[in-house]
Amino acid sequence: MKVLVTGGSGFLGLEICRQLIARGSQTVSISRRPSAELANLGVRQYQVDITDTADLALLSRAAAGCEAVVHSAALAGASGPLRPYWRANVTGTLNVIAACRVQSVPALVHTSTASVVFRPGGLEGVNEDLPYPRRHLAAYTRTKAEAEALVLAAHSPKLATLALRPHIIWGPGDPHFAPALARAVRAGHLLMPGEGNNLIDTTHVRTAAHAHLLALDALQQPRQAGGRVYFIGQDDPRPLREITLRLLQAAGINARWRTVPPRLATATATVGEAYLRLTRSRRTHALSRLLVAEMLHPHHFDLTAARRDLRFEPPIGFDDGLDELTRTAPPALDNSKESPCRKPTTPSVPS
């Protein structure tokens, strides 16, 4: 199988390419910048902005001869205005669908996120029947929901599609979640809203990539899986406090959890979002209502559909993944020695 991966130089995209190459698939990547890691794997690379109309011909050429496309490119974040998210996540997805149709690519797997259905109060063991909320807490989740719906609506006898919803992807090389936690530690303390007892499921990067390969296989016989969406995760919900402190320990940082009153955290996020709107800030990782809500409430999912239709099982467990992370993590900055006068921050990561 010849497969095109959008966002192939990214954290998840690179692992998808690794696993495709490992099983003998001819792999093509498109991203904005070249990647030495992809070059070492032997992946053919195209530098393409999937949102730029001037690059559409090159996008189409990259898809030529492919039997499938994995669309993992996206703008992720917890804050920021709608326009850049819409351009990256909605317009970009429309262009990928169009390229698939022009080149008669028969299969498209879309990387969505479990946060497209998140709502205040959280999600406890929900399945794919849960509808999108009437209002999203952030432009990121709104545009990812729009993109997901576009991909599912594009399912047809000529283009089989499905979407995957991994959640909080982490592992070796993680540029988002664990580093954001490390930056948030000040003088040995981690300021977090609530007590951290809410159960959260996460997704190791190898688990997420493995699910994409299973989805590609499923779309070879799309009658059951085509046009559907699937939650993906470790299926091992843990308290937020345990997840965050153990990820920090794996990076060599010992921190103490310091509770911020939930109402204060929510109010601070609301005021902060208003300020960013007034100043027309384009920051994508500032403190936001979405981020605070996800740190206060549970979010874990029923993976029955993925097990049934994709034969999905996590290839690595949470504890084994942390052991691997401990062995491979680079030395961390000693945030405990920073000045206590420096203003503490709450971690802001894409969900």
Q: Which residues are catalytic?
A: 140
Q: How far is residue 48's CA from residue 188's CA, in Å, rounded to a whole number?
A: 42
Q: Residue 121: exposed, middle, or buried by beta-carbon count in 10 A (0-12, 13-18, 19+)?
A: exposed
Residue type present at position 30: I
235 phi and psi, to 5 degrees? 55, 45
| DSSP letter assigned to residue 46 | E
For 277-308, letters b (16+ CB in 10 Å) and e give eeeeeebbbbbbbbbbbbbbbbbbbbbebbee
Q: How far is residue 334's CA from residue 60's CA, in Å, rounded to a whole number?
A: 47
Neighbours of 275 (CB within 10 A): 11
